[in-house]
Amino acid sequence: MMNNKEFNSGFVSIVGRPNVGKSTLLNNVIGEKITITSDKAQTTRNQIQGIYTTDKEQIVFIDTPGIHKPKHQLGQFMVRTALSTLNEVDIVLFMVNVSEKMGPGDKFIMEKLKNTSTPVFLVLNQIDKVHPDELLPIIEAYQKEMTFKEIIPISAISGNNVERLLEVISTYLEAGPQYYPSDQVSDHPEYFIVSEFVREKILELTREEIPHSVAVITESMERADDDIIDIRVVINVERNSQKGIVIGKGGKLLKEIGTKARKDIEKLLGSRVFLELFVKVENDWRDTPRDLSRFGYKTDNF
């Protein structure tokens, strides 16, 4: 590593309404899958840190839960988690989906952003979904609400203009240490990422309330003698009826969840995996502080 005079570093928070592409952007920047994506809102529940390192700089990205009106204690945790980063980072990326109209959620976030002294970039995602002539009026509408340090249109899914975003972020970084080793791409342990990969497949394969009623915990990971990693994962749901849906007729859906998740887990770990999934009922866990804490959602400030 270079000495600090030649090395820059900083922390960047990505905020926005649910489902605007925050996790997709983070995965694109890091160059591998470290956080789950879904077309369902409120996919991200915790702060996920992604680490981008070159020989000149290290940028630690924080992918926050989508800011929304909470309906339960889990929702309160998610919103508080997202807002807590605003004054603790070097740059805030406020991400919006240009293919959708500005809504009350966007305005709510901007009201919060006005109270921070941190530089705020407006990042306009999904520019490939609108005609270039439509982009300027969208930018002007957001500029009427607040002043941004930078305005950068991108497509997170294709990577269009993401390199430019990184270049602009670099100009705001100051001299600082390399917080993480060069080959580390996330601060989350493998146990957490494995759980998230299983949860992603549940999001993909189920509908309505099921995706939001699930908490996934990796209970054990052990390397067997034949060099296969044995992993035991528990899927917690809120109702007996939900347990039946997740398991599926004859265990078919649970098997599909496991098959799809195993492929991502094997890529992450670089090893063959034997994945065991179990489904348990924890009544109303999203409104039970003890369960929220047990499943990794700290509730101290409720």
pLDDT digits (tens, 9 = 90+) for 263-291: 988 887 888 899 999 999 888 777 777 77
Residues 152 and 219 grouped into a single domain? no
What pLDDT score does 189 carry?
A: 66
Question: Which of 120, 146, 175 is a domain's end point?
Answer: 175
Domain of 279? Answer: 190-294
Given a contact cutoff of 8 angstroms between Cβ atoms, the answer to whether 110 and 93 are in contact is no
Q: Are residues 118 and 21 in the same domain?
A: yes
pLDDT at 269: 80
Percent of the chain's residues with pLDDT above 90: 39
Question: Does 168 share its domain with 199?
Answer: no
At 123-138, the pLDDT tens digits run: 999 999 889 899 999 9
Residue 227, domain member (yes or no) = yes
Q: Which of 175, 199, 220 is the last residue of a domain?
A: 175
State the pLDDT at residue 235.
93
pLDDT band at 165 (very low <50, low <70, confident <90, very high): very high
Contact in structure between 247 and 279 (CB atoms under 8 Å): yes
Residues 159, 14 share a domain: yes
Rounded mean pLDDT, 47-75: 74
Instruction: Among 30-34, 36-40, 93-97, 104-108, name the most confident range.
Output: 93-97
- 137 and 30 inside one domain: yes
Which tops the pLDDT comparison, 24 or 124?
124
pLDDT digits (tens, 9 = 90+) for 189-221: 677 788 888 988 998 898 777 767 888 888 888
301 is a domain residue: no
Task: Clarify whether residues 201 and 114 are in a common domain.
Answer: no
Confidence of residue 142 (pLDDT cuts 50, 70, 90): very high
Residues 15 and 131 in one domain: yes
DSSP string, 70-82: -SSHHHHHHHHHH
Q: What is the CATH number of the domain that holds 219?
A: 3.30.300.20
Split at pLDDT 50, 70, 90, the class of 77 is low
Residues 141, 221 share a domain: no
Mean pLDDT, the chain, whole residue set: 82
Higher pLDDT, 212 or 177: 177
Is residue 163 scored above 50 in pLDDT? yes
The predicted structure's pLDDT at residue 210: 78
Whether residue 2 is contained in a domain is answered as no
pLDDT band at 80 (very low <50, low <70, confident <90, very high): low
pLDDT surpassing 70 at residue 83 = no
The answer to the question of residue 287 being in a domain is yes
- Domains contained in the chain, number: 2
Would you call 22 exposed, middle or buried from its count of C-beta atoms within 10 A (0-12, 13-18, 19+)? buried
Q: Which pair of tokens denotes residue 274?
A: 């034997």
Question: Are 245 and 112 found together in one domain?
Answer: no
- 150: which DSSP letter? E
143 and 55, same domain (yes or no): yes
Distance of CA 269 to CAs 38, 44, 190, 191, Å? 22, 21, 8, 11
Distances (CA, A) of 61 to 49, 58, 85, 168, 227: 5, 10, 11, 14, 34
Residue type, 120: V
pLDDT at 33: 64
User: In this predicted structure, what is the pLDDT of residue 4?
Assistant: 42
Share of the chain above pLDDT 70, in %: 80
Residue 140, pLDDT > 90, answer yes
Domain-embedded: residue 205: yes
What CATH number is associated with residue 16? 3.40.50.300
Is the per-residue pLDDT at 43 higher than 60?
A: no
Helix or strand or coil: residue 183? coil
The answer to whether residue 258 sits within a structural domain is: yes
Is the domain of 150 the same as that of 198? Answer: no
Query: 0.75 exceeded by the pTM?
Result: no
- Domain assignment present for residue 299? The answer is no
User: Do 195 and 170 lie in a common domain?
Assistant: no
Domain boundary, last residue among 141, 175, 209: 175
Query: What local confidence, expressed as pLDDT, does residue 192 receive?
Result: 78
